[in-house]
Amino acid sequence: ARSALGRRNLVLVGLMGAGKSAIGRLVAQHLGLPFIDTDTEIERVSRMSIAELFAAYGEEEFRALETRVIKRLLRSGPRVISTGGGAFINDRTRAQIQRGGVSVWLKADLDVLWERVNKRDHRPLLKTENPKQTLKDLMDRRYPIYEEADITVLSRDVRKDVITGEVLSAIL
């Protein structure tokens, strides 16, 4: 599978809770490539948490930083990169990802996503009156855009190595 990628990056996209980081880490192990999560990288360079960044500078600044970080990561690859849920939605960032990598959309349904995000509350976009409805609204808005990924893999409630195997066979 690695040779099919060549020098390109493998970039996981999709909504929060789809399993991008967990699956990305496993896929990277199989490919013998380094793994990096863009939110983790943003937190490292800014020395702030994502929640703090949103609170202090707002979403627009966060997106600008996200674009810069992803651009740099794509250039210095190949790697397996898991992106924050909004990265592929941003026109500039999506264009960069499409140029510099093979994109894989981990597609999940509302209940799977909700099950996974609702236990943790660090996601600033879900600090609303009705977070499940917010997640649903994000699905409605974003799914047509995630469709533009090269590959779609259904992230469902099965073992992670099953999904990992599906990602690996899809990039062959």
3-class secondary structure, 102: strand
Binding-site positions read 17-22, 39, 63, 85, 123, 142
Nearer to ligand S3P, 2 or 156 (CB): 156
Binding-site positions for ATP read 17-22, 123
Smallest distance from ligand S3P to CB 97, Å = 14
Nearer to ligand S3P, 99 or 122 (CB): 122
Rg for the chain (alpha carbons), in Å? 15
Smallest distance from ligand S3P to CB 158, Å = 20
CA distances to 14, 53, 120, 154 from 44, rounded to whole Å, are 22, 12, 20, 30
3-class secondary structure, 83: coil
- Integer Cα distance of 91 and 111 in angstroms: 28
Where do contacts with ligand S3P occur on this chain (CB under 6 A)?
A: 16, 39, 50, 84-86, 123-125
Nearer to ligand S3P, 50 or 73 (CB): 50
